[in-house]
Amino acid sequence: MKWIDGGVCAAEGFQANGIHVGVKSRNAEKKDVALIAAQVPCSAAAVYTKNAVKAAHILIDREHLKNGQARAVVINSGNANACAANGEANALRVCQSVAAQLGCSPEDVLIASTGVIGQELPASVIETGVPALAAGLSHTASGSDAAANAIMTTDTVKKELALETVIGGKTVHLGGIAKGSGMIHPNMGTMLCFLTTDCAISAAMLREALLETVTVSFNRISVDGDTSTNDTCCILANGMAGNACITEKNGDYTAFAEALKALSVRLARAMAADGEGAKHLITCIVSGAKSVESAETLGKSVISSTLTKAAIFGADANWGRVLCAMGYSGESFDPDGVDIAFASAAGSIPVCEKGRGLVFDEELAKRILTEPEVEIRISLSEGSAECTCWGCDITYEYIRINGDYRT
């Protein structure tokens, strides 16, 4: 695999754009609607939030994806279109508007929204901007850049990546853009993410690969313990790479799935690192577990612990917070077999051995925990399985951002 530029436009036959149409009426400089479109019909798949309260776009997309095909995705920021008047009707209006510009069926257009819950989506405002949005579609990196910026809300940096690999003797490209900074918690996609590929793969196999990928990437991050009403991760595959179509789990499928996981893990890490107000990316590595599922449960509990997050913010090597979070995870393990260490670019320091505290250099520990990325390394005595999860610290800025998010 090779990392390349281009984002969602790196794959052959995809275009993208992002512009300001007025959904974010208070900020005329901020792009707020994005469009990703393929030259040809695509195999498509998506996964969504497990929150019982779901945004209107999820209900529409589930209907549109029943045939496993799509041609485009339109996304707005600034308005979640969740628990809002005329939610589904407004989402359909936007799909119809995009379809008219692309010359395809409205059922071939997917839609996603992000922003404030409970406010009616200004469909007429978006409809007015759709002709310019479609006219500005570009197959270059600038198109992906515009789309990546248009889907941001409280994000401080865009999340955009692409890679290429060889499948069936053909060069295949995968690209993605994502947004996520708050309301991030393991329970499916925990954000918005849009992936493209020119690999030829059936809708059934595409969905299998996406489900496998979400499990080891977006489902292993947490910022604040809140699972959004709008979480969506979707992928379009147009087959223009020319490889033999993947219709079963063979070597080509494995190669594709591994590339998709590599791309998604990097996007997931970027979201955790950009948590609202965050200063540190926390990587929690649990090894020696009896199963991957056990290691994941323990790791998720640690990265979701408010007290652990606060300790990392304060560069306080309070390993007791870590062991405590493991203890209330609901997963059984032997506390007397737990070793804990903190690590970063500044070094590594063991702080707990066999469930008991060690005497350690507090100054070294502080230097380690002051680095932008901090690792919490947990070793169990249960087996040989391991898992890595990602989170971030919690800061005063998180409260400021969310204290007046709506107003």
The set of catalytic residues is: 190
Pairwise CA distance, residues 11 & 174, whole Å: 6
Name residues whose C-beta falls within 8 Å of residue 311's C-beta, 6 or more positions apart in sequence: 317, 318, 321
Tokens of 263: 């791309």
The two most distant CA atoms of the chain are separated, in Å, by 69
Name residues whose C-beta falls within 8 Å of residue 398's C-beta, 6 or more positions apart in sequence: 182, 224, 275, 276, 277, 278
Strand partners, 163: 3, 174
Are the beta carbons of 229 and 117 closer than 8 angstroms? yes
Burial 161-170 (b: 16+ CB within 10 A, else e): bbbbbebbee
- DSSP designation for 245: P
In this structure, how many other beta carbons lie within 10 angstroms of the beta carbon of residue 380? 23
Pairwise CA distance, residues 352 & 81, whole Å: 47
Are the beta carbons of 51 and 229 closer than 8 angstroms? yes
Name residues whose C-beta falls within 8 Å of residue 199's C-beta, 6 or more positions apart in sequence: 167, 172, 174, 237, 239, 241, 243, 246, 256
